[in-house]
Amino acid sequence: MQELSVRHLLGIKDITPQDIQLIFETADNFKDVLNRPIKKVPSLRDITIANVFFENSTRTRLSFELAEKRLSADVINFSSSGSSVKKGETLLDTVNNILAMKVDMIVMRHSSPGAPHFLSRHINANIVNAGDGTHEHPTQALLDSFSIREKYGEVAGKKVVIIGDILHSRVALSNIFALQKLGAEVMVCGPITLLPKYIKELGVKVELDVRKALQWCDVANVLRIQLERQQMKYFPSLREYTLYYGIDKKMLDSLDKEITLMHPGPINRGVELSSDAADSHHSIILNQVENGVAIRMAVLYLLASKTA
C-alpha cells in the first residue's frame, strides 16, 4: 500500500501533491462505502481517537466523528468549555492526560496558530489539525479540492477565486496551498482591508471587483466574514459589504458562462451569499459536506498506518 510522507496532518503546506492524490484515491473508495446500505468498515477497529476541540464547531466536529465511527474507531470527545482548561490546565497537560488513557490519535481545533505543530513535537500520537486560529484548516481544503475534482474531473488548469475575509480565514490559506499543488490558478477577492498585505507573494492574483473575479473564474469559493476574529472594524457595515461583495443568483445568471459556487460554511445568508444563490444549481455546498466525511475517513485511515 502507498503511504503518506507525513505522520501528522498539520497543514497542506507540509504535504506533497502525491500525498493529496493518495488521499483523494482513498476517499474515492470510502465514498463508495458511504453509498452502501451498510456504511461501516472495520479498518480502525483497534484505534482510539480523541476529538479535542478548544473552539466551537458543528460541521467539522460532526464530520470527523462520523468518519471515525464509519471506520469503527473508538471515539472520545473533549470540549474545553466544560473542562479543566477553565481551571488553568495547560494544553500539553490536557492532551497528555487524554493520551494516558491510551488514545492513538488526536483531532484538534485550537484558536492559537501553530498549536498542533507545538503538540506534534511533544507527543507520540498522530495529530490531525481541524483548524488552528487563522493559520490552516487542511481537511477543509482537501474536501474543497476533492469536490472540484469530482465536478470537473481534475483540478489542474481550473481558475478558482476565493472571495471574502481572506485576512482572518484559515480556509483561504489551506485552499491556496492545496489548489496550487494540484495545478489550479488561484485568485483572491475582497475589500483591501480584508486582504493580507503580502498575499501576492503566495503567487495568487488579487482582484477587488467581485464581478470581474466571477467573470474570470470557473469556481468561486465564498467565505463568511469572521466577525469573532476581528479586533477592529475593517469595513463600515455588513450592509455595505453585501452591497459590494454579496453574491446573488441574478449576478451569477448575468455571467456569460456557468461557474460553480462553493462555501465552507457556516453561511451567513444575505451577507456574502443570498439564499437564491446558495440554493441554486450553481452550488455544490452540500456536496462539500458529503465529501468531507469521505476525505476525513481517508486521512484518518492513512495516518493510522503511520503510528509511532
Spatial distance between the Cα atoms of 116 and 16, rounded to a whole number of angstroms: 19
CA dihedral for 298, 304, 305, 308, sign (positive or negative): positive
* Residues paired with 219 in a beta bridge: 160, 260
Residue stretches of the annotated binding site for carbamoyl phosphate: 59-60, 109, 137, 140, 265-266
Spatial distance between the Cα atoms of 161 and 213, rounded to a whole number of angstroms: 7
* The C-alpha cell that represents 29 in the structure block: 473508495
* The C-alpha cell that represents 273 in the structure block: 451569499
Cβ distance 149 to 184 under 8 Å? Answer: no
Residues 6+ away with beta carbon under 8 Å from 17: 181, 182
* The C-alpha cell that represents 238 in the structure block: 455588513
Residue stretches of the annotated binding site for L-aspartate: 87, 170, 224
Strand 205-207 and strand 185-189: pairing? parallel
Residue stretches of the annotated binding site: 59-60, 87, 109, 137, 140, 170, 224, 265-266
| Cα angle for residues 202, 206, 208 (degrees, 5° grid) | 150
Q: Around 124, how many Cα atoms within 13 Å sit in the side-chain half-sphere? A: 7
Spatial distance between the Cα atoms of 233 and 227, rounded to a whole number of angstroms: 9
* Strands ordered across the beta sheet of 48-53: 74-79, 48-53, 105-110, 126-132
Cβ distance 9 to 127 under 8 Å? Answer: yes
